Structure 1
Amino acid sequence: MATKKTTKATPSWSDVKTKLADFDRAGLLGLVQDLYAASKDNKAFLHARFGLGDDPLEPFKDVIIRWINPPDFRNPISVSKAKKAISDYKKALGQPEGLAELTVFYCEEVFDFLAGCGMDDEGFYDALVRMFEQALKYVLALPAAQQAAFLARLDRVRQLGQNVGWGVGDDFDHFWSAAGLAGDE
């Protein structure tokens, strides 16, 4: 007779939380230190969360550059990995100004990339339009005194979008006017 193998459910956060309750301060610090040493993503997360370093956005911007505008054109482009940098920042700190900066930066990097080569991928441009829309929302959620510089950068992106196919310029203009912003359409 075969014995029935019991399967345990996939561990969840509550399982981890239960185990963490057994840690003393030194044990918890050791665990965080091990996580810190385990990956660059963990380091970036902790640096952002605790406001460490000259520019806590730098590692997230570096990831965006790596996947959207790589210095070596032989490297692949990955919209999802670039967008993950913004998501990771949002989880780590999620400050509105930082989110505005990263989303606007993403859009700018796309056009820096396009200045050096062409791209014929509808999904790439759809992601750009969605990021432009997201950037606009983040910028407009900031206090009025912080919006001007971001809006100037986004307007430059909007104007660059007029020279791209796939309806990018039209979509940019739609979101721009829907936000109540005047433009030279």
Structure 2
Amino acid sequence: MKDPSDMTIKKGKPGWRDVKGALVDFDRAGLLALVQDLYAASKDNQVFLHARFGLGEDALEPYRVVIERWLCPDVYKNQDYSVAKAKKPIADYKKAIGLPAGLAELMVFYCEQATGFSAEFGLDDEAYYGALVRMFEQALTIVAGLPEPQRASFLERLAVVRAIGQNVGWGVGEEFDALWRRAGLEIDGS
């Protein structure tokens, strides 16, 4: 491994190609030490590696915790919400391993948390509801591709989300119904 102080500094912003080129000089021990340093550097790196290698009892739990925090803030502590920060764990999981059942779980969980929070506290935020409708659509799409035994339980949960969505405003209920029908699913009573 080269000593960073001996390296010539290139102009411009370094990218993956530069990193990849630097990795060529690593031996196995050096690469393990690098991964260990990355692991120790941040909680996000730890979550990523745990998911990638299937470590721990529930690799999805850290992602759920972040989704819940940003979609269901503690209003009594004046916490705010953030759609972008709530969607980030889903993107991170997709990069780490991206198993369809895991993505379905996180997307359905997102929808459950968002509808639950807005039903309980009300929210006047068109962007929040737009993101919820898009996530509902993505969840339906990914769930449709799962094997039947897995699909059924996710659809039951999404049916509850759809029902709650009828009471949250901003046309969410109507959008949920349209997406539900487009997915070839029947709505009770129709």
Shift of residue 54 of structure 1?
0.4
What is the aligned length? Answer: 180
Please say if 1:66 is aligned against 2:36: no
Distance between the aligned counterparts of 1:39 and 1:62, measured in 2? 16
- Name the residue aligned to 1:134: 138
Deviation string, structure 1 residues 65-91 (Cα, Å, up to 9, x no partner): 111113454111010011010000000
The answer for the alignment partner of 1:112 in structure 2 is: 116
Give the structure-2-normalised TM-score: 0.91
Deviates more, 1:26-35 or 1:96-105: 26-35
Residue correspondence of structure 1 range 78-93 to structure 2 within 5 A: 78-93=82-97
Aligned to 2:174: 170
Instruction: Establish whether residue 53 from structure 1 lines up as the match of residue 56 from structure 2.
Output: yes
What's the offset of the Cα at 1:112? 2.4
Map 1:34-49; keep pairs closer than 5 Å.
Answer: 34-49=37-52
- How far apart are residue 123 of structure 1 and its match? 0.4
* Partner residue, 2:13: 10
Name the CA shift for 1:171/1:115 in 2 (closer, same or farther; >3 Å): closer
Please give the residue correspondences for 1:142-181 in structure 2 after superposition, counting only pairs within 5 Å.
142-181=146-185
- Give the letter for the 2:170 counterpart: W
Partner Cα separation in structure 1 for residue 176 and residue 116 of structure 2: 17
Mind listing any 5+ residue stretches in structure 2 that lack a counterpart? 1-9
Report runs of 4+ in structure 1 exceeding 4 Å deviation: none
Shift of 1:144: 1.6
RMSD across aligned positions (CA): 1.5
Name structure 1 gaps, 5 residues minimum.
1-6
Report the AA paired with residue 116 of structure 1: E
Q: Which residue of 1 aligns with 2:79?
A: 75
Question: Distance between the aligned counterparts of 2:74 and 2:151, measured in 1?
Answer: 30
Give 1:138's aligned amino acid: I
1:118-174 C-alpha deviation (Å, 9 max, x unpaired): 110000000000000001011001112210000000000001111121110010011
Q: Does 1:26 align with 2:29?
A: yes
**Structure 1 residue matching 2:123: 3-state secondary structure:** coil
Aligned equivalents of 2:165 and 2:119: distance in 1? 12
Which of the residues 181, 186, 190 maps onto 1:182? 186
Mapped to 2, the partners of 1:120 and 1:59 lie a distance apart of 28
Equivalent in the alignment of 2:7: none
